[in-house]
Structure 1
Amino acid sequence: MLAELYDPHATLGTNRPDSPRLVPSGSDVYAEWRGDKAVVRDVRPGFGAALAGVRPGTEIVAVDGVPVAQAAGAYLPACLKAPDPAARAYALNVLLAGRHHAERRWQLRQPGAAPIDVRPDYPRPLLEHISYPRRLESRRYGRTGYIRLHNSLGDHALMAPFDSTLDALLDTRALVLDLRDTPSGGTTTVARALLSRFVSREQYYQQHELVAEERAYGVKRKWTELVSPRGRRYPGRVVVLAGRWTGSMGEGLAIAFDALPQATVVGTELARLNGAIYFYRLPNSGIGFSLPAEKLYHIDGTPREDYRPKVLVPPAAPPADAALDRALQLLK
């Protein structure tokens, strides 16, 4: 049923060992079709694909010995009236994320080279039970501060360490806020807590639309959410880093910062997850599932899933960090 929706933001609340991993939180590579070729566009640093030598421009030739187009067919919806590129892209990236219980085996071709076989989950599957030693990290680049969040936008305990870290960086003239490792989204409470340290007055930060009400009654329901100032405001310029593993509430934060005059968003396209999800439960099995039920927009009216950073930086192969280099260059 989920394949019929081909929406990574529509998920089940339970898994079996043979269930596909979630995209993007359980993936380490993002690829697109170029005709019948599956070509990697971005790689998640520190995980199996990057460690196996996969980089932007790599072609995935086969998965588990099966040609990639044939293997991706298992994840395509069965009921489309006509082919949809979005369905093909969904199937490809779910295929490459793999299943919880199975080791991935890929055949790759780098530009101008012969195919090679790699095992992104050898000697252990790094995408299983991902954990971080801390919720955030910080450092300084001269008079520029840097804060990177580690997939903690759903953790209310993030607020206190974020406040103390930002307070320690109030003497810097600029700040880089790195949201490129927030694939699992979070809550608006945490997002507003972070954003509130960068505004001096109440202001709008995103629009919502509940489409079901208009479908049921013919009356549109749309509203704009506010963020209020809290604590000492960070006074300097801000660059927000975002990318393919900036998902859901991370995307919401990116579009919110994009609306602030002192902030610039730098990076690649984001996860492009649709709207806000609502949680439901099947009455007999008790299995929970989430579906996007609210449209979300930038305050300028751009749908959140269509937003792109003002400063686009092509992905670089780890350990290079082109987006951070560009951010520091902008802040000089």
Structure 2
Amino acid sequence: MEAAELAQDDKAYYLALRSYLFSIPDGSLCITTPETYREEAIGGGYGFSVAPMEDGRIRVVQVEPGFFADMAGIKWGAEIIRWNDLPVAEALEQTSLLWNDTPCATRECRLLKQCALLTRASVGTTVSVMFRNLDSESVWVTRLEARRDSYKTLSDPLRQEASFGEFDSPMADKVLNGGIGYIKIHGQTATLATPFPARAFRRIVERFLDDNVNGLIVDLRGNVGGLDDLAASYAGHFMQTPMFYRDLVAFDYAKGGFALDKAARITIEPRTPCFTGPVMVLIDHSTRGNSQALADSLHELPNVTLVGTSGTDGSWALPGGKITMPQGYVISYPIGRMLDESGSIRITAKADLESPVKPDILVPLTLEACRAFFQDGRDVLLDKALEEIKARNTVTSS
């Protein structure tokens, strides 16, 4: 960084700054991203996306029509074997996460994001790809060129990270076949469309109870987090006794350091109506912020099961820190950490890069699961949750 400053090299200075931040596995960190630098680094795509399978293979899960990959004969489900003459696993390990939105806190998140960034490069960059299409014994090698595509293949291939705005509701609900309630929560926040989300959530639970649903599925995939008071409020509709939610250690300017904020403790208080039937909570790597604490708190209940393709994001902190660096680059960082009842940091992944919130029922990414999702348009996690609730109701009734 010193050399970049001495040379008055703005790009080198920025890259050094970003590299340092991204060496810290904390998804609560971020820095201004100049579009010029991002476009220069990963503005081109090869026209396909890949994902890691349970068996260790890397398979194509999306092919953009008309791009080089499509014209080269790479089909959906193809196994990628080598990338620029390296075994694909080795190529993935060498794939930089520098241009991800934030640092990754878990191994699972790292691998998924490396898969997304593997197929990105500067516009005009060429790559040699060895692949084998499904139901074929032939191995092919092709050379592809990265084309500008508005970052199409950079989005989450599992399509759970849906954005919502002020004119959207942060939650949606319906009753599924078999009389099972379903609620999707995008974030614990108010919007213009739903200015009182705690009331909206209560009304949803009331409707489900009035409909005598046989179980409830709470979908926290793609949940961006939000207000802790709201998360505790939602959780209260499943509680019959109070439950500790979190303590907060934050920077205290009066004390000149970090200190426990005793007034900030949150306890989940039971709320009416209370749902006590079987509950399946859907999670994955896109379950972020305090939605992880919501899932983890519900998981303490005997009638709640976590279902997912992976653990959660692994980062949870109090945001609010901002510092403006030379050249106007703004770094955002956490100013406090959430603690569990024993005083240990809650939710945030530790040095082992393992998410503390993992599914009880793991639905692995297999070829069959991907075919169901991408080809048949089925939600395999939702299917599994429905299957589990129906099976448990059958056992109870018998």
After superposition, the C-alpha distances for 1:31-68 in whole angstroms (9 at most, x for unaligned) are: 5999xx8836x979xxxxxxx9766x9548549xxx88
- Alignment size in residue pairs: 301
Residue 263 of structure 1: how far off its partner (Å): 1.2
Residue 257 of structure 1 pairs with residue 275 of structure 2: no
Kindly provide the amino acid, as one letter, of the partner of residue 233 in structure 1: C
Residue 254 of structure 1: how far off its partner (Å): 1.1
Equivalent residue number for residue 207 of structure 2: 168
Percent identity over paired residues: 18
> 2:237 and 2:215 mapped to 1: Cα distance?
14
1:76, 1:88 within 8 Å by CA — same for their partners in 2?
no
CA displacement at 1:309 relative to structure 2: 1.5
Q: Distance in 1 between matches of 2:205 and 2:289?
A: 23
Q: Cα 1:246–1:91, aligned 2, differ >3 Å: closer, same or farther?
A: closer
What's the TM-score once normalised by structure 1's chain length? 0.67
Q: What residue ranges of structure 1 are gaps of 5+ in the alignment? A: 22-27, 45-51, 78-84
Residue number in structure 2 paired with 1:142:
178
Tell me if 1:242 matches 2:283.
yes
Separation in 1, partners of 2:174, 2:148: 31
1:210-265: CA deviation from partner (whole Å, max 9, x where unpaired): 4989xx99x99598741112332223221111112212222111111101222111
1:191-217 CA-to-partner distances (Å, cap 9, x unmatched) read 112112212332224x4474989xx99
CA distance in structure 1 between the aligned counterparts of 2:319 and 2:385, rounded to whole angstroms:
35
What letter corresponds to residue 310 of structure 2 in structure 1?
E
Which deviations, in whole Å up to 9, do the C-alpha atoms of 1:254-288 show, x marking residues without a partner? Answer: 11110122211111222332331433121554724
Match of 1:8 in 2: 27
Quick check: which has more Rg, 1 or 2?
2
| Contact in 1 for aligned 2:170/2:188 (Cα 8 Å) | no
Distance verdict in 2 for CA 1:228–1:290, change over 3 Å:
same
Q: 1:73 to 1:192 in 2, by over 3 A?
A: same
Shift of 1:174: 1.1
In structure 1, give the amino acid aligned to 2:178.
G
TM-score, structure 2 normalization: 0.57
Q: Deviations over 1:123-154 (max 9, x none)?
A: 873849964465333222222111122x3234
Counterpart Cα distance in 1 of 2:169 and 2:90: 39
Q: Deviations over 1:146-176 (max 9, x none)?
A: 1122x32344634343333222211213111
The answer to whether the 8 Å contact 1:6/1:91 transfers is no
Per-residue deviation, 1:118: 10
- 2:347 matches 1:328: no
Task: Give distance in 2, aligned partners of 1:267 and 1:103.
Answer: 38
* Unpaired runs of at least 5, structure 2: 1-19, 43-48, 63-73, 99-104, 348-354, 391-398
Q: Secondary structure at the match of 2:152?
A: coil
Q: Larger relative CO (CA 8 A, sep 6+): 1 or 2?
A: 1
Q: 1:96 aligns with which of 108, 116, 121?
A: 116
